[in-house]
Chain A
Amino acid sequence: MTEGAIYFLQLVISGIAVGSLYALVALGFVLIYKATDIMNFAHGEAMMVGAFVCYALVVAGIPFLWAVLMTTVIAMFFGLATERLILRPMIGEPQFAVVMVTIGLSIFLRSVSGIIFGHDNKIFPSQLSEQTLVLKGLVLSYTHLWAMLISGLMVILFFLFFRFSRVGLAMRGVANDQDTAMLMGISVKRVFALTWGLSFAIAAVAGIFLANVMVLNIAICLVAIKAFPAVILGGLESIPGAIVGGLVIGVLETLVGGYLDQTMPGVKDLTAFVVLFLVLMIRPYGLFGKKEIERV
């Protein structure tokens, strides 16, 4: 392979690695939107809380894998509690009001996390190997490899869940039409609760991966802003769309950084938002979304 080809391929692989992290974040957004028609603006904060909880458990001496499992369970209960205490009272209220509640929740979680976990920089005691995998001159870290595997696994699991499980079908039904779903005997409240629980659990996993590749502090929640264009690109209620959207944004961003950042410094960080504008103008329902979806 020529040097130019290796450079291009390495950028693509790095982009896929970063994109898989965006995809994990995007997945949580989509899950809630798919089932409840709500865009959760506190998703980044849920991710941050998950990362902090896992950090605290690992620092307390709990083995990493156990800490991840415990964090996922804690996050799930946290999601259930959030739904019960904050979002259930909002059932029947205008969507705008619910979105405002999630924005309020994001501010609340950020402040409370600062009080509990501190505002300082934390170095996550990473248990994921810092070794790299080198294949024909192309490099990939094991952390990113794990993120890619987990993203892929999540897609398959959720695809099967929504397609074949009763709860998954109930979630789709609720997303389609809450009144009809209720008439069909589906407990909308239970579906909402489960969705928030699952979404927070996924957010925690994404947060843990991010904490392994970044410095852990309150700012980690801002990565969710980067994942947002991925959600729009993939389609607000498409799980494969979230993954594809995340990967496309990751690859595009890295390629733009690799080829254009020298001539247009800073353009890399604009890429995701340029994509967001273009998608909203040309195909507002995204690559895999349905045409009739409503945007918030």
Chain B
Amino acid sequence: MKTIRNWKLVVSVVMCLGLFGAGSAFPETRGVTKDAIQMGMILVKTGPVAALGLPEGWGIQDTFDEINQTGGVNGRKINLIWEDDQFKTPLSISAFNKLIFRDKVLSITCMGGTPQTIALFDLIDKHHVVNIPNALAEEFYKPHKPYVFVLGASYETQIELMFDYIMNDLKAKDPRIAVVYAETEFGKKGLEAARKRAEQYGIKLVSELVLNIGSVDASSQVLSLKKDNVDYVVTCNLVPPIITFLKTAEKYDYWPTTFGISWSCDDMVVKACKDASKNYIGVNFVGGWEDDTPGMKRVRELAKKNDRDPAKMLTSLYTIGVGTATVLAEGMKRAGQDLTPESYKDGMETLNNFETGGIVPPVTYSSTSHAPTTVARLYRAAPDKGVMAPITDWRSPKEMK
């Protein structure tokens, strides 16, 4: 009897040691196993603004798939779980909780948009969720948020570049500038930035008009701008309202130079508006679809390989997706074998002028700043080619007091 008891004791001790040993060899980390990494993504894929989320999500998905096909990150395959928030903050919060508590993901690539990310700041911090938000507001990095890494030029930078272009490249004398914006978080950020930059240049904005997403017509806005002899229209809006605006302006034979931020700097505007887009200039922090750079060549190949038709999607957003996934994967790689939320963050913070081959400008983060680059490029509509063609190199806004 005693022998049996001793034998059971020995087996139990051996099993415990075995388990302990296995645990020591691979300590349990949320979302990380020996050969896989669970990643989440919150991006709209159904509903009225799905056209924005889908191409970006495809870009991220395709890039991770490509990385998996070439061996993964440090031998681990990335398993991406895409949650649809329909661009609604409550859904975004529930998706976040599902990804963290049920799917136990290591991190979440993006949080849905500006309001969603702001609503999730506390949870991101609490659960140490490394992410690159698909929005560009200044409060994402001011004050410093340890787990939020902003990629791309902020709305403020983009608007500043538009004013700089008007004042320094076009050498406008007493320009009459108006702002047309969507009544959304990003639209209001753009308006604030335009007011600030106009003040720095000593200009008074002629008018500030709202053009909301889903507007049937922009006649009142266009007629009002025309009456006020506005020469330059700075917009902070999405592709559909910009198309409506440019087509309406053409109808009234009104041809101001119109500027758009990255969300509306897309070839689709040119394809839809044709000649109506001839005075349209966009600011963007990603390479042009036809750019002859290694990065953009890779983006085009990825799209082709995955049957993403550039004529049917917002190509600039697909490019942002590829850029986002490339940067996130590099951060993971730099975190090494011991991948945890903390080591992932540390890995991201070692990025110093990280080159994506022209997909996005060189990326730099540090332990004290996750601010995005301050460089972007200006593109002008080329109706004959149906594309937004670059008209400047990467540039930063002029330093002004």
Contacts and interface: CB of A to CB of B under 8 A. Distances in A.
B47 to A, nearest CB: 6
A114 B221 contact: no
B209 A120 contact: no
B216 A14 contact: no
B239 A7 contact: no
Interface stretch (A30-38, A61-69, A261-269, A288-296): A261-269
A215 interface: yes
Contacts of A255: 220
B35 interface: no
A222 B224 contact: no
B46 A215 contact: no
Interface stretch (B48-56, B287-295, B340-348): B48-56
A114 B183 contact: no
Given A121-B240, A217-B48, A17 B220 contact: no
B223 A11 contact: yes
A214 B209 CA distance: 19
Nearest to B242: A215
B216 A114 contact: no
A14 B268 contact: no
Contacts of A261: 209-210, 220-221, 224
Nearest to A141: B251
Nearest to B274: A130
A123 B268 contact: yes
A254 B240 contact: no
B313 A120 contact: yes
B252 interface: yes
Contacts of B239: 121, 215
A88 B124 CA distance: 50
A265 B209 contact: yes
A123 B217 CA distance: 16
B257 interface: no
A218 B50 contact: yes
Contact of B216 (A10, A123, A132, A213): A213
B224 A258 contact: yes
B330 interface: no
Interface in B39-72: 45-51, 54-55
A142 B238 CA distance: 26
A262 B211 CA distance: 12
A21 interface: yes
B240 A215 contact: yes
B184 to A, nearest CB: 11
Given A120-B54, A141-B251, A254 B219 contact: yes
A269 B212 contact: yes
Interface band, chain B: 35 or more
Interface in B314-352: 314
A217 B219 CA distance: 21
B210 A265 contact: yes
A261 B215 CA distance: 14
Interface string A199-224: 00000000000100111011100110
A247 to B, nearest CB: 14
Contacts of A214: 216, 240, 244
B244 A215 contact: yes
A233 interface: no
Contacts of A118: 312
A87 B24 CA distance: 63
A22 B217 CA distance: 11
Interface string B217-237: 101110110010000000000
A266 B216 contact: no
Nearest to A221: B48
A115 B288 CA distance: 29
A214 B49 CA distance: 14
A219 B214 contact: yes
A139 B226 CA distance: 13
Interface residues of A, number: 45
Nearest to A267: B210
B223 A14 contact: yes
B210 A266 contact: yes
A111 B214 CA distance: 18
A14 B220 contact: yes
Interface centre among B214, B224, B227 (most CB of A within 10 A): B214
A119 B220 contact: no
B272 A119 contact: no
A220 B209 CA distance: 22
- B212, B215, B216, B224 interface centre (most CB from chain A within 10 Å): B216
Contact of B213 (A11, A14, A219, A262): A219
Nearest to B183: A266
B227 A119 contact: no
A43 B183 CA distance: 26
B219 A218 contact: no
Contacts of B221: 257, 261
Nearest to B48: A219
Given A119-B54, A215-B243, A217-B48, A257 B251 contact: no
B355 interface: no
Contacts of A236: none
B138 interface: no
A262 B228 CA distance: 11
A128 to B, nearest CB: 12
Contacts of B217: 14, 17-18, 213, 254
Given A119-B54, A121-B268, A269-B210, 16 more contacts: A3-B227, A14-B217, A14-B220, A15-B219, A22-B216, A119-B50, A121-B239, A214-B240, A214-B244, A215-B239, A217-B240, A218-B50, A219-B240, A222-B48, A223-B214, A265-B210
Interface of B: 45-51, 54-55, 183, 207-210, 212-217, 219-221, 223-224, 227, 239-240, 243-244, 247, 251-253, 268, 271-272, 312-314
5 contacts: A119-B45, A215-B239, A215-B272, A218-B46, A262-B224
